[in-house]
Amino acid sequence: MSWWQGVVLGVVQGLTEFLPVSSSGHLVVAERALGVPRQGVVVEVALHVATLAAVLLVYRKRIWGLLAGLTRNDGSAWRYVALLGLATVPAGLAGVVLGDWFERAFNSLGVVGLDFLLTGAILWSTRRTAGRAAVSEPSWRGAGGIGLAQAFAILPGISRSGSTVAAALWVGVRPTQAAEFSFLMSIPVITGAAVLELPKLGGETFGVGAGPLVASFVAALLAGIAAIKLLVRLLERGAFHRFAPYCWALGAATLAWALRG
């Protein structure tokens, strides 16, 4: 991987991790389009850490407030953290139990194309729900539903942010708070994904080179910060569902590409 390919993959990862268009699906398509073999564990961990850092930087005040609330034994802070924990469980279980099955899905452009189409349908379904959302955080049942949406989004082409924000809107969480809950619940998931890859680092060389690795990290970090802020702004304007046509077009193009072999 050259440094410019690292930048492209980093930008793709950073933007699509948080915009509701599926980072995993875009990375599969981007690697095929660039003629770059699927990158190894070193690059995957670097991109995960970069997107994690983006969330921590954007939501640093909220995270610090929650931590301070926990130390003061604030009931509202404990409840919110418990809701985040509950929402994390389904994806963790799915990753452990069905990890190999999800991994095989990444090798199929056809699956990615179909999942892009499904992501578009999920986004389009929110065009009226945002206006009816009225609560600042989900119920226990709602948090469980958001967690199931996150587990479903392990599939390449299903957007994690798209499905979790949509699920939060469906259960009545206001748009800005829906984005906040979605991004905060990504912290343990992204961290867990990186940690699970760490044991594999022992058997892999850093053949990509320091330059491309740093370039991909910085690109993913900056793009991630920009994507989070953009998505929150679009949610506030009721424009979340407008990503649907893009997902449908990309899904159709990916399916056509897959059919051509």
Query: Which domain covers residue 7, as residue numbers?
Result: 3-259
| DSSP one-letter code for 59 | T
Question: Exposed, middle or buried: residue 54 (CB in 10 Å: 0-12, 13-18, 19+)?
Answer: buried
Give Cα 35 to chain centroid, integer Å: 24
| DSSP one-letter code for 241 | G
pLDDT string in tens for the chain (261-residue length): 777 778 888 898 899 888 998 777 777 777 777 776 655 566 777 888 899 999 999 999 999 999 999 999 999 999 999 999 999 998 878 776 766 655 665 667 788 889 999 999 999 999 888 667 789 999 999 999 999 999 888 888 888 899 999 999 999 999 999 999 999 998 887 787 767 666 655 544 445 667 888 888 999 999 999 999 999 999 988 899 999 999 999 999 989 988 886
Q: Which pLDDT value is given to residue 205?
A: 44
Query: Tokens 């407030």 — which residue?
Result: 65
Structural domains counted in the chain? 1
Structure tokens at 249: 């077009």
pTM for the full model?
A: 0.86
How far apart, in Å, do the first and last CA atoms of the chain sit?
Answer: 24
In the chain, the amino acid numbered 196 is L
Q: Which pLDDT value is given to residue 23?
A: 76
Model confidence pLDDT, tens digit, residues 215-254: 889 999 999 999 999 999 999 888 999 999 999 999 999 8
Structure tokens at 181: 């809950």
Query: How many other CB atoms are found less than 10 A from the CB of residue 246?
Result: 16
Question: Exposed, middle or buried: residue 101 (CB in 10 Å: 0-12, 13-18, 19+)?
Answer: exposed
Q: Which pLDDT value is given to residue 74?
A: 95
Is residue 180 within 8 A of residue 66, CB to CB? The reply is no
